[in-house]
Every structure is written in structure tokens, then in C-alpha cells.
Structure 1
Amino acid sequence: MAKNFIGLDQAKTGGLADALNDLLSNYQIFYMNVRGYHWNIKGENFFELHAKFEELYDDLLLKIDEIAERVLTLGHRPAHAYSTYMERSEIPERKDVSDGREAVENILESFGKLIGKQRNLLNLAGDADDEGTVALMSDYISQQEKTVWMYRSYLGQ
């Protein structure tokens, strides 16, 4: 079994890098959607949602960078073309959303997809003895589960 420069199985890190690039693609589309919600939100909850969406897209941008850097740390290349993101993302592109409730529902749907992908990555990373990716995914999942609860509460669910 060939090892990479941080002592992990090269074949397994290839699969991990691919799954991380898939996650990266979904994060990028989610990020752009949330930017659009932030810019286009209207209505009585404008001030609250405008601020929450900015907080969310700032966090997504940090995670995008961390995911890309994790791919590099594993010895692979992060996806970096918007066309690749569009091809790989299961999160659909959302255009011209100005209704707060619709935006929050879309956010919850997107988090559902991300959390599922991160749970899968947690298992793949565990099988590869990749504690760095395990820690990253574990942190993301625990943060996002709380965020999902808060957005669901906002919707009265």
C-alpha cells in the first residue's frame, strides 16, 4: 500500500479528495445562492434575514477554503471551475429569490444535502485513518445541525 506525504493510503485519499471536491461543488453553489438571498431579500423580516444570510455566506466561504485546502493537504487538486461546480452540485442554483420563507426553506434543503455528504465523508475518512478530515466533517456537522434547528424554528417547524 503506497502512502502519501502525510502517511495516508494514496488510493483512499484519492476517493476522499473526490468526495471532498463533490462537497466543495455543493458548497460553492450554496454560497452563491445565499449571496443572492442576501442581496434580494424583501419584506417585513428584511433586516433580520439580511444579517443572517450575510453571517451564513461568510461561514460558507470559510468552509469552502478549508475544504479546498484539505484536498491539497491530501495531495490532490481542488475543483476550481464554476462549470465543474454546476456539473457536480446536487444543490440546485436558485435565482431571484426574494421571499424570506422560500429562502430559508432552500437553505434547509441545502443543509440536508451537505450534512448527508459530510456524514459519508466522515465514514470514508474514518476508514482511511484520516483524522484531519474526520475532525473537519465532525465540526461542520455539529455546527450545522444547530443551524438547521434554528432555521426550522424560524419557520415554526
Structure 2
Amino acid sequence: MEINIGISQGNRKAIADALSKVLADSYMLYLKTHNYHWNVTGELFHSLHEQFEEQYTELAEAVDEIAERIRALGYRAPGTFKEFKELTSVDEQQDEPDAMEMVRRLAEGNEQVMRTAREALQPANDAEDEATIDLLTERLKVHSKTAWMLRSHLE
């Protein structure tokens, strides 16, 4: 069935492609946050363990919303590690950082998701796609607050 939602096929494709990058970044940040939740140690263990759990839980819901928006636009949402690895801008490290390095890396990851989301705003704005604009605005709000809270640990 042809999609007729008031956004051209070309604009829907541009938005879906941009959202796919936001999805990949969000998923990779989810994975990193969950890893750090499991592996954090030290005197701040309890507070960071809890904070990281709140963050990865929020990210798990976000990736679902982003993927569903891509589907609503008529495109397949990427969903494999290979696709995410090709699309993401979030660095993946395989070492075992200390707690404050985890915090620093997660702050950087949230900032990267914000940069990717800002890039995705352009095609959404061009197409006057308010639903995507709203989704991206919410992501920017959440990641901005999360990055600030994480950076506050480092002061």
C-alpha cells in the first residue's frame, strides 16, 4: 500500500536515513551503558550502578520509539549489530575503565547522540515532519540532561 502521510517519498527516505543513525547511536550507547552498569566498581558503585540502570532503561524505550518512527515513515529500521556498527558514531571500547572513565565516556556518548539527533532535525524540519521533530526534541532534552548529570560527577 502506498504511504500518503503528507511527506514525500524522498523526504521520508531522508528522515528515515537520519533516524537510522540516531537509532544506531542510541543502541550503541544503550549497550555501553548497560555494560558499565554491570561492571562499575569502586566507592561510587551503588550510585553509579543505579544511575546507569536508569539511563539504559530510558535508552531501551527510546530505541523502540525511534525504530517505530522509521517504520511509520515506511522504511525498515536497522536492527543488527553489523548495521549499527556501520551507522554509529558512538565509540566502542573493549577495555575495562575505572568508574570515572566510564562516566566520562558516557557523557561523551550522550553528547554524540545529541549531535546526531541535531543532524537529523534538518530533514525533519525540511519536510515539516512534526512527529519526528517532536521525537528528536525529546531525545535532545533527555541526552542534554543526562550528559550534564554525568559531567557533574567529573567536577
Bin for the TM-score computed over the shorter chain: over 0.9
Give, as a single letter, the amino acid of the residue that structure 1 aligns with 2:82.
Answer: S
Q: CA deviation at 1:23?
A: 1.3
What's 2:28 paired with?
A: 29
What's 2:50 paired with?
A: 51
| Residues 76-95 of structure 1 aligned to structure 2 (within 5 Å) | 76-95=75-94
Structure 1 gap segments, 5+ residues each: none
Q: CA deviation at 1:4?
A: 3.3
What's 1:64 paired with?
A: 63
What's 1:128 paired with?
A: 127
| Residues 132-143 of structure 1 aligned to structure 2 (within 5 Å) | 132-143=131-142
Give, as a single letter, the amino acid of the residue that structure 2 aligns with 1:97.
Answer: E
Q: CA deviation at 1:96?
A: 4.3
What's 2:151 paired with?
A: 152
What's 1:110 paired with?
A: 109
Q: TM-score, normalised by structure 2?
A: 0.94
Tell me, in whole angstroms, the C-alpha distance in 1 between the residues paired with 2:98 and 2:51: 14
Question: Which aligned segments of 4 or more residues in structure 1 are displaced greater than 3 angstroms?
Answer: none
CA offsets, 1:30-80, max 9 Å, x none? 111111101111100000000000000001101100000000011111001
CA offsets, 1:83-117, max 9 Å, x none? 11112211122324351111111111111111011
Give, as a single letter, the amino acid of the residue that structure 2 aligns with 1:123.
Answer: Q
Tell me, in whole angstroms, the C-alpha distance in 1 between the residues paired with 2:7 and 2:112: 27
Q: How many residues align?
A: 154
Q: TM-score, normalised by structure 1?
A: 0.93
Which stretch of structure 1 is more off in the superposition, 128-137 or 89-98?
89-98
Tell me, in whole angstroms, the C-alpha distance in 2 between the residues paired with 1:110 and 1:144: 9
Tell me, in whole angstroms, the C-alpha distance in 2 between the residues paired with 1:146 and 1:29: 19
Identical-pair percentage: 36
Query: What SS does the aligned partner of 1:7 have?
Result: coil
Tell me, in whole angstroms, the C-alpha distance in 2 between the residues paired with 1:104 and 1:72: 33
Tell me, in whole angstroms, the C-alpha distance in 2 between the residues paired with 1:63 and 1:117: 14
Root mean square deviation, CA, Å: 1.3
Q: Is the 8 A contact 2:107 2:146 kept in 1?
A: no
